[in-house]
A and B are shown apart, each in its own frame.
Chain A
């Protein structure tokens, strides 16, 4: 596979890979690094790409696995940095101000979801993949996708309603 041909197949979903990485890793820089790394990995394995029915689905699976690995290693290294964790919570006054914006509230709610729910919300509600596609990407059954998604949507709705009611009363 030539470089131009590779880029042609890969470019259409580069933003999706980036957004998924950002959803899971949170920081923009880390998501950018992850995207770069993932596309480099794809390029190195370009010979195998024709074995996959959908390169895009394969790339999304790779992104998920890569980000989960990163998160695991980050958690492991964070254990010793208890002090900096404490600082993170205390400082961000301007972030709290920013979160008054209801859209950012949604962002925070999604951020607090379990990884799998976060992942499925991203793939369905942002990227609008079909349930079958998501099931293949995550290697689970479509019904499991529905159940997890429903749980995530309900959690978000309840939290939003709670905050809404706080504002009213």
Chain B
């Protein structure tokens, strides 16, 4: 394109009167290599615009928010809390029951020991009874 034409377009460009098509014309002109010395700064300008447009958003867009995860996390935390409270309570009750069991075991042990003493005495008594009966039988004869 003619230089005079380009300079006219540049003036229009500055006044923001160019159309998109005309701006593309300017862009194409300045991206080509033969740009005269006094218009060099425009080359930087239009070059910058076209490189800027090439920048991309490279990450993937997540539609599930992290706020939702917080909600889920709090639900999980409360479940864990409930379970641990229940578990703790259960454990305490178990300990209590074990203690009671041990104590009653001890009591039964004592009881049976004493009872055994009693039965020993009774067998001795029985022995005595048998001997007495024998003696009585013989004296009857």
Q: Which A residues fall within an 8 A CB radius of B?
A: 3, 6-7, 10, 14-15, 17-19, 22, 32, 35-36, 39-40, 43, 102-103, 105-107, 125-128, 130, 145-147, 149-150, 153-154, 156-157, 160-161, 163-164
Contact = CB atoms under 8 A, between A and B. Distances in A.
Point out which of B13, B23, B44, B51 has the most chain A C-beta atoms below 10 A from its C-beta. Answer: B44
Given A102-B41, A150-B15, A14 B57 contact: yes
B3 interface: no
B41 A15 contact: no
A123 B14 CA distance: 16
Main secondary structure of the interface of A (DSSP, over half): helix
**Which 6 residue pairs across A and B have the least CB separation, nearest first?**
A18-B57, A102-B44, A150-B16, A160-B41, A106-B48, A149-B16
B20 interface: yes
Interface residues of B, number: 26
B14 A150 contact: yes
Interface string B17-28: 100100110000
Nearest to B53: A126
A105 B44 CA distance: 8
A160 to B, nearest CB: 4
Given A18-B57, A125-B23, A147-B16, A40 B48 contact: no
Given A128-B24, A150-B14, 17 more contacts: A7-B61, A10-B61, A14-B61, A18-B57, A19-B52, A19-B55, A22-B55, A36-B62, A40-B63, A103-B47, A103-B48, A106-B44, A106-B45, A127-B53, A149-B16, A150-B16, A157-B14
Nearest to B20: A128
A36 B62 CA distance: 7
B47 A157 contact: no
A147 B62 CA distance: 39
B40 interface: yes
B38 to A, nearest CB: 9
Contacts of B51: 103
A163 to B, nearest CB: 8
B35 to A, nearest CB: 12
Given A146-B16, A150-B14, A160-B44, A36 B59 contact: yes
A18 to B, nearest CB: 4
Contact of B40 (A22, A127, A164): A164
Contacts of A3: 63
Contacts of B33: none
B44 A17 contact: no
B132 interface: no
A125 B49 contact: yes
B16 to A, nearest CB: 4
A126 B57 contact: no
Q: Count chain A CB atoms within 10 A of each CB in B40, B51, B52, B65 and give the residue with the most.
A: B52
